[in-house]
Amino acid sequence: MNCFVTGAAGFIGSNVVDRLLAAGHQVTAYDNLSSGFRRFLDDAAKNPAFRFVQGDILDTDTLAKAMKGCDTVLHFAANADVRFGTQRPRRDLEQNTIGTWNVLEAMRASGASRIGFSSTGAIYGDARVIPTPEDAPFPVQTSLYGASKLAGEGMIQAYAEGFGIKGYIFRFVSILGERYHHGHVYDFYKKLLADPAKMRVLGDGSQRKSYLYTQDCIDAILLALEKAHDKVNIFNLGADDYCDVRSSIGWICERLNLKPKLEFDGGDRGWIGDSPLIFLDTRRIKALGWKPRTGIRDGILRTLEYMIENPWVLEAHDKKPV
> Where on the chain is the footprint of a second copy (CB under 8 A)?
85-86, 89-90, 93, 97-98, 101, 104-105, 125, 134-144, 146-148, 150-151, 153-155, 157-159, 161-163, 232, 234, 272-273
Least distance in angstroms from the C-beta of 125 to a second copy? 8
Q: 74 phi and psi, to 5 degrees?
A: -115, 110
Whole-angstrom distance, CA of residue 96 vs CA of residue 136: 23
Whole-angstrom distance, CA of residue 63 vs CA of residue 308: 35
Residue 66 · residue 55 · CB < 8 Å:
yes
Least distance in angstroms from the C-beta of 92 to a second copy? 8
Residue number, 56 or 153, with CB nearest to a second copy = 153
Residue number, 36 or 167, with CB nearest to a second copy = 167
Least distance in angstroms from the C-beta of 209 to a second copy? 20
Residue number, 48 or 162, with CB nearest to a second copy = 162
Residue number, 179 or 284, with CB nearest to a second copy = 284
Residue number, 219 or 274, with CB nearest to a second copy = 274
Least distance in angstroms from the C-beta of 210 to a second copy? 19
Residue 29 · residue 52 · CB < 8 Å:
yes
Least distance in angstroms from the C-beta of 98 to a second copy? 7
Contacts of 13 (CB under 8 A, 6+ apart): 5, 6, 7, 29, 31, 36, 74, 76, 77
Q: What is the DSSP string of 238-262?
A: --S--EEHHHHHHHHHHHHT--PEE
Residue number, 122 or 199, with CB nearest to a second copy = 122
Whole-angstrom distance, CA of residue 234 vs CA of residue 293: 21
Whole-angstrom distance, CA of residue 5 vs CA of residue 266: 40
Least distance in angstroms from the C-beta of 73 to a second copy? 17
Whole-angstrom distance, CA of residue 118 vs CA of residue 1: 19
Whole-angstrom distance, CA of residue 107 vs CA of residue 91: 23
Q: Which helix (H) or strand (E) holds 99?
A: helix 99-110
Least distance in angstroms from the C-beta of 136 to a second copy? 6
Residue number, 165 or 239, with CB nearest to a second copy = 165
Whole-angstrom distance, CA of residue 256 vs CA of residue 234: 39
Least distance in angstroms from the C-beta of 220 to a second copy? 19
Whole-angstrom distance, CA of residue 93 vs CA of residue 95: 6
Least distance in angstroms from the C-beta of 283 to a second copy? 15
**Residues for the chain: how many in total?**
322
Phi-psi region of 314 (alpha: psi -120 to 50; beta: other; left: phi over 0): alpha
Whole-angstrom distance, CA of residue 159 vs CA of residue 186: 36
Residue number, 166 or 179, with CB nearest to a second copy = 166
Residue number, 6 or 142, with CB nearest to a second copy = 142
